[in-house]
Structure 1
C-alpha cells in the first residue's frame, strides 16, 4: 500500500494560519497517529490529506502522485468519521456496499467485497440487520467496513472512537489494531487520547498549534522526548515537572528539598533555571518530607498519590504496593536520578 508525503504544507483561514509548514513522511503500510490537544491542527491536517480542506500552499503526495488539488474521490483515500453516518433504512450489507453501487460496480463484485469486509470485521451475522439493531461499536465497524470495500490506498480515521463508552473504546482499539495487521494498509488516525496513540501507532506525530513537535515510535517519544511538551503529553499519568537551578552537585530542587545529581553532556552553567521531569512510575513515596498528601486514588493493583509541595507545585506518584497514605500527611519522594530529564526553563527544550 502507498505512503503519504507532506511537503511544507500550510493552511490559512483568511489571515489566520493554523498549519505552519508541515513536513512529514508516512511510509507504506504504517499506522500513523496524529495526536495533540484540542485546536492543535490534527483534524485539519487529516482533512487536507483527504481533500476536504483546501491546502493554502505546499504539496501532498499519495503513492508518489501529487494530489494537492485533486478531488477527494480521486485521491485513493477512504475516511472513517467520528459519527457513523449510516443509512437507517438500509441493512448492514447495503450500507457497506452503497458507495460501490453508486459508482456503478457490478453486483457480484459488490457482494464479494462486502463479504470479505464482513469477514475481517466479524459482521457476517449482522449483514441483514438495520443499524438501529446494532451497538455503537458494531455501527462503527460497519462504517469501517464501508471504507474497506473501497479498497483505498490510505485509510483515514478522524477520532472514530470518541462517541463510544470506555469499554467499547478498548474493544475497538484492539479491533482496529487487528484490522491493520490483517490488511497491512497505510492508516492515518487522529485522536486527542495519547493512550490510543501509544497502543495503536507505529509512528506518532505530536502536534501543537499547527506545528509538529516530534515524530517517532511510541516508546521513542516516551523514553526520549525532545521537549517538555512532548514529555508531558506522552505518558499517563503525565510526567511530573518541578523547577530547579543548576549547581555543581546537580539540579537543586526547592520543592523536593534536595539536589538531584543529574548527568548531562551539554551541561548549563551554574545558576541556570531549569525544569526537572520525573515520571510517576519512577518515583516512590517515603516517610519524612515536606510534601503533603492531597489525594490518593486506589485502583486495585495500582494507586496514584497526589502530593503538594510548599512551592505550590504538584506531583503524582504511582504506587504498586498497598500504599494507604492519608490525606494531609507529610511525606517525601525518592527516585533514580538517571531516570530524570532536564529541560530549559525558557525554551522548554530538552537538555541532554
Structure 2
C-alpha cells in the first residue's frame, strides 16, 4: 500500500476553473475523507486521483510514481461508486472476479482472491446469488469486494452510501471502518455527510468552491476550526452564530441579553462587529426571558430546542432529560466564555 500526494493540483473546463491549487499529503494506510457541500469539487478531485478527470496543472503522485498523466487503469487504484454497477446476469462471485478475468488472471488465482474478499465482507452465503436477490447494502458490499480483489494500492470511494436508507448507511459505515482496519489500505472517501466524515476519517479535507478550507483530524477540525465555514460544517447540529460587538475589551452579545464575553483572543478595534460561535451543547437553558422556545425536536434522551432570541436571532440548544418547558415558554440562556469561538465579521477567519 502507499500514499497519495497532490501538488498545486488544478482542474479547468475551458475557462471555468473548479479546483484551485490543491496541496495535500495522504499518508500510507490513512483513511482520508473529502467533505463539503454539493458542488464544492470533492468528487472532481477524487476523479483526478483516479485518472477519470484530466489534471489541468500540478502533479499527482501515488507513492513515488508521478501518475498525473497516467491512464486510470495503470494507476493502481480501485474505485467504488455511488451506483453499484453490478452485472445483473452474473452471480456475486462472477461480479467480484470479472475484472481479474478480463485481465487474464488464472482461474485458481481469481477464486482465491474472491474467496478472501468474500470472507472479509461476509458474503460467503451470497456468492451464487444474482444482484436482484440482494439488498442494497449487500450489493454495495459486492461492489467493494470487486475493488478488493484487484489488490489496489489505493481505494477510492465516491459517496458509496448515498443510495442506502438511514439504517443501512450506519451498518455500511461500520463495515467500511472494519474493512480499513483489517486490510490497512490507503482509502480516500468522498461524502457530503459530515457524520460519515467524523466517524470514518483519520484525516478530513474540508472543501468549498474548489479550495481546501482546512485539513486535520476530525477532532482537530471540531475543536479548532480555522474559519466560520469549517466551524459550521463540522458538528451536528451545526454551530450557532450570532453577532457581537467589541466594547471595552470584551465582546457584547445582544442575542444573549447583552452578555459580555471575556477573552484573551486578540480583538479588532472598539465598536467592530465580530461573529460569535457557540455549539448547541455548550449553551445552558434556565428560567428567564432571554429567548423563546419556538420548537422542540425530541430524539429520546436528547432534544434540540429551537429558540428565538430577543433580537430575533435563531439558535439551537441541545438538552438532555425531560423537563416541563412547553413551546412558547420564555427561557434564559448562558454559556462558559471558554466555549466561545470568535470570527472576523468580514473575512470569517477565526480570531485567535
For structure 1, the 5+ residue unaligned runs are none
Q: Is the 8 A contact 1:264 1:351 kept in 2?
A: no
Distance 1:141 1:302 in 2: 33
Q: Is 1:94–2:102 an aligned residue pair?
A: no
Of 307-316 and 34-43, more deviation after overlay is shown by 307-316
Equivalence map 1:120-135=2 (5 Å): 120-135=120-135
Give the number of equivalent residue pairs: 352
- DSSP 3-state at the match of 2:175: helix
Q: Is 1:180–2:180 an aligned residue pair?
A: yes
> Residue deviations 1:266-315, cap 9 Å, x none?
23222111000000011121111231211001111000000012333210
Superposition RMSD in Å = 0.9
For structure 2, the 5+ residue unaligned runs are none
Distance 2:304 2:121 in 1: 37
- DSSP 3-state at the match of 1:317: strand
Q: Which residue of structure 2 aligns with residue 267 of structure 1?
A: 267
Structure 1 runs (4+) deviating above 3 angstroms are none
Q: Is 1:20–2:20 an aligned residue pair?
A: yes
CA displacement at 1:324 relative to structure 2: 3.9
Q: Is the 8 A contact 2:249 2:267 kept in 1?
A: no
> Residue deviations 1:199-227, cap 9 Å, x none?
00000000000000000000000000000
Q: Is the 8 A contact 1:303 1:323 kept in 2?
A: no
Q: Is 1:316–2:322 an aligned residue pair?
A: no
Equivalence map 1:185-200=2 (5 Å): 185-200=185-200
- DSSP 3-state at the match of 2:252: strand
Distance 1:46 1:33 in 2: 10
CA displacement at 1:249 relative to structure 2: 5.3
Of 277-286 and 31-40, more deviation after overlay is shown by 277-286
- Normalized against structure 2, the TM-score is what? 0.98
Q: Which residue of structure 2 aligns with residue 9 of structure 1?
A: 9
- DSSP 3-state at the match of 2:47: helix
Q: Is the 8 A contact 1:44 1:53 kept in 2?
A: yes
CA displacement at 1:258 relative to structure 2: 2.6
Q: Which residue of structure 1 aligns with residue 59 of structure 2?
A: 59
Distance 1:185 1:59 in 2: 22
> Residue deviations 1:62-103, cap 9 Å, x none?
011100001000000000000000001100000000000000
Distance 1:324 1:183 in 2: 51
Distance 2:261 2:342 in 1: 11
Distance 2:282 2:81 in 1: 38
Q: Is the 8 A contact 2:257 2:310 kept in 1?
A: no
